Amino acid sequence: MLNSRQRNKKQKNKPYLFCQTGKDIAMDYAVRLLSVRQRSEIELSDRLVKRIKDKNTVQDCIKKLKSLGYIDDKKFAKDWIEERLRKSPRSFSALRYELTGFGISKNIIDDVLDEFSRELSDLDIAKGLIKEKAQAQASIKEKAYWIRFLIQKGFSYETAEEAIIKGVVKE
């Protein structure tokens, strides 16, 4: 029986049937990451640098993925906001903060949020959150509770108070 050191020596002497270059490894890893969920350019680049260590290889990989259409920060931002508004609504300022954390540029964030703000306002999102939560917990009628709830979701005090005043929740 071979110990681990002897086994490693035997494996080193065998010719490799399949040898990957750094670029191949970077592309494989990037595709694996993108298969789980869409990612921003900076987020993917940071993950690749941690694994690959060679910045030139990572830059080449990112360029290739961008040219193939696998990385698009504007599409990522749109999809992220749509998903957030559908599953776990937040205010536009909270969404801006989240997208900044993903490394999306300020210009892209502003463009995408402007598109969404034409159809939907912070007040509409706040009203929807209150209605949804009020149906689940009909006994909660306190104004202070709803203000705290909306502030935790990223809304300003004024927007929270206005949503309550508009008749969604009675004092």
Most confident of 20-34, 64-78, 134-148: 64-78
User: What's the pLDDT at 113?
Assistant: 92
Do residues 113 and 96 lie in contact, with contact meaning Cβ atoms separated by under 8 Å?
Answer: yes
Do residues 90 and 84 lie in contact, with contact meaning Cβ atoms separated by under 8 Å?
Answer: yes
Number of domains in the chain: 3
Kindly state whether residues 129 and 151 are assigned to the same domain: yes
Average pLDDT of the chain, as a whole number: 81
Structure tokens at 28: 């494989």
Range in 58-62, 103-107, 118-122 with the lowest mean pLDDT: 118-122
**Terminal CA-CA length for the chain:** 79
Judged on CB neighbours under 10 Å (0-12, 13-18, 19+), 106 is: exposed
DSSP symbol at 32:
H
- How confident is the model over 100-113, as a mean pLDDT? 93
Kindly state whether residues 30 and 42 are assigned to the same domain: yes
Kindly state whether residues 84 and 107 are assigned to the same domain: yes
Kindly state whether residues 60 and 94 are assigned to the same domain: no
User: What's the pLDDT at 14?
Assistant: 46
**DSSP per position, 114-162:** HHHHHH--HHHHHHHHHHHHHHH-TT---HHHHHHHHHHTT--HHHHHH
- Please indicate, yes or no, if residue 161 is contained in any of the structural domains: yes
Kindly state whether residues 57 and 18 are assigned to the same domain: yes
- Please indicate, yes or no, if residue 148 is contained in any of the structural domains: yes
Residue partners of 84: CB distance under 8 A and separation at least 6? 90, 95, 98
Residue partners of 93: CB distance under 8 A and separation at least 6? 122, 154, 156
- How confident is the model over 58-64, as a mean pLDDT? 91
User: What's the pLDDT at 95?
Assistant: 92
- Please indicate, yes or no, if residue 1 is contained in any of the structural domains: no
- Please indicate, yes or no, if residue 25 is contained in any of the structural domains: yes
pLDDT (tens digit per residue) in 11-48: 454 444 455 677 888 888 999 999 999 999 999 999 99
pLDDT at 105 over 90: yes
DSSP symbol at 70:
S
Domain residues for the domain of 84 are: 73-119
- Please indicate, yes or no, if residue 3 is contained in any of the structural domains: no
Kindly state whether residues 17 and 37 are assigned to the same domain: yes
Kindly state whether residues 57 and 20 are assigned to the same domain: yes
pTM (2 d.p.)? 0.69
